[in-house]
Structure 1
Amino acid sequence: MTAVAGQQPTAVDSSVAGHGAEEDLRSLFGQSTAVFASLAGPTHLLESANPAFFVTIGETRARTGAPLVDLMPELAGQGVIALLDEVYRTGEPYTGRDVRVVLGAGPHARESFFDFTYEPRRDADGKVTGIRVIGVETTQVKHAQRLMAEHRALVEQIARQAPLTEVLDGMARCIENLAPQEVLVSVLLADPDGRHLRHGAAPSLPDFYNQAIDGIATGEGVGSCGTAAHRREPVIVTDIATDPFWDDFRDLAERAGLGACWSTPILARDGSLLGTFAMYQRLPRVPQDTDLALARVFTGTAALAIERHHIEQAKAAADARARAAHDELAKVVQAERELRAEAEQRAAAAAELTARMRAAAAAQAATPHPEQCQLGGTGGCPAPAEIKIADSWGDSAWGCPTHVEEAIINVRSVFIASEELGGLAAYLRR
């Protein structure tokens, strides 16, 4: 449902909601309008016209009996009057397709497109007396083509995983170009907890405004966007200067030159909040059906882009965790290999030292206290034999402090067995 600020929201008729996207497209691209006018003489005096012609040129100019260029002076610089002059002079009809015409001037100027035919009118003698203008306005069709092209480009951007900021910025500019009247588009993104809204895209709003609303809370009465996010339904503020929802932001909006704000929540498929889509107006204004339809079409596109972005973010985070786990596992495996190699080295050293102790024990039968270290291996050790060690099997040997320490570290159950305290003192002073 759409809630107008300051009023209780009313339920939307289910038959209207059922039209969905098809109804939005009808609102945006309704049937074209056929126009007819009969012009007389070389000045192209407007003799008669159908109501659609007067609606097209503007009700304030709806009168006959005046030259067309006087009613619509903006046509003189667009080649329209020159074409009429040519048809009147040559008597040859002219047909144009998708001809661009700017109607009106200043802030009320409107770009329009027409398929039209200029047919010469003749008297009984065949002399050209005027021109019949028969045309069909194709503005909506032209806008439909542009919208579909822009929408297709946005979907392609999403499919190729373009950065979210790029997609949203392009979407905002597209809507600003397609809207029949000037609008300024803003997209805010919801924090994961849905309690705050962050800047997403707003190419035409001033930087100071974007910075000021970045991080606003979601809640009842927090502007149009905060309220729409809180309610999970559109909120239409037609006059910022008087609406209570804007009490805390009215001075900011005035500085930015904003008169109205229509905000629509962007919801995920599971109903969770993704952000808000807002259309700002320079002056107070009530949205037309085309405005609301445009908002619905592109709110769905924004939801697609944001959900895709969240999926990619989650995938990237999962990949990062997997890489970290793999790296950690590799470190553990390497450490285990190093420990195993060290253990194997210790086992080899222990076996070798045990063999030395047994050989030394056998040698002590002839020499109870040798002069040199008995633990130096095949190369021998010239250091004095200062400390006696033994193991639980009764083997003993004399060695220097260095080799004694090596034996204590690597061979289980080895202990210092010197009969004199001097042996222990020598080990402690090593």
Structure 2
Amino acid sequence: MPASALARNSLLTLIANISLALSNWLILVVIAKNFDGAQLGQFVLALSITSPLFLFASFKVRTLVIVDKYWRYKLEEYANARLLANTIVTVLLALIAIITLEFHVSLIFIVVVYKWFDTWSEFCQSYMRRVDAYRTACVSLTARSLLTIASVMLVTFTSSNFEYMLICWCVIAGIFTVFDTVKVYQLSTSCETKPLSASLIFSAGSVKRSLQLYKQYFTVAVALMISALFVYLPNFLLTYQLGVVQAGQFATISYFLVAGGILINSLSQAATPQLVNLHKSQNQTAFISLVVKLCGMGVAIGIAGVIVAYLGGEYFLTLFYNSDIGEHADVLIWVMAAAAIRYIYIFIGTSYASLQLFQIQTKIYAVGLIVMFFSCLLLIKTNGLVGAAQAMFAATVCEFVLFALLTKNQYRKVFEVTVSAS
């Protein structure tokens, strides 16, 4: 892929992802400014439960659809696996909602429906990028985000009903899911032997193959869930140690880590096809050079985030949320320090995905999650919200060290095997 094409695709992916992240962040802003802390906490708790499970069900489809250059698994088999896993997760969440009383059933229902729409759209967006329809993907996500922002603002100004606002958020996602599905059908008509259709997706052969696919990439699913728990695990522990209001406050602050990650993930998604091609061509030097450049971008973005948090953390937290959250500027500094480290090695994780080194990546993230869990147990009791952020920092340091120690040897093994095989 020429540098100009990579830059164009990175820009389009960045625009789309930033617009989606902005609309999701706006939900937190609107809740923090217009509703009470308990409602914010309940919403955060619902997201903290559903998001890791739906990521577990995704088996990183947005990457696999791209890196599976020769269609080892067919498009309809990826689609079937996505839908089947979503169904299983939904049943599990329904049982959790019925058994526990930590949140309202209606709230978890709205969030689950939104996740259905969002994850299917992600599958569609992945295929668009595979066939180089980056512009179509960008237009869809950007339009969805702008309409979401406008609709949520309108509902909030005309009604004080919390659930109405969330239903609006969900309905807009559903509308664009239909649009994305139609576009994928049109693209598959011209790019594939058979266009994607319901009969193909739900055929007996697709069901059987999708089960094999999920079995093969189970490690990827675990890695994704572990990665998501990096953001959501502190919310759980804060809820049970300090209360749901404190968990909501921490989630709004830690979202800045996610926001910066949007830029990182956009670069990652755009660079993945090029990393795959460099591996296929056995160009180890160019492969490592691209990874180093990407990590350098991560360093720059991370440092910028820490500086902004240090100089204007209280001002921005008060501006975007409220004065109660603004009092926790020190939490933001620790969160952005953790983000700065994470933004470096996340690109190494991208290179692992392009080389299909999923198991070692999962082990690294699992060790980091264990470190975070015990750090949270120790630090939240003594330092409150700051302790949760410090636990994030400890986990990122651990993961960074493991990636630094293992990566050189992993690259050497993979490229030696490739050369031998050729």
Which has more helix, going by share of residues? Answer: 2
Q: Which protein has the larger Cα radius of gyration, Structure 1 or Structure 2?
A: 1
TM-score between the two structures when normalised by the length of structure 1? 0.20
TM-score between the two structures when normalised by the length of structure 2? 0.21
Which structure has more relative contact order (CA 8 Å, sep 6+)? It is 2
Which has more strand, going by share of residues? Answer: 1
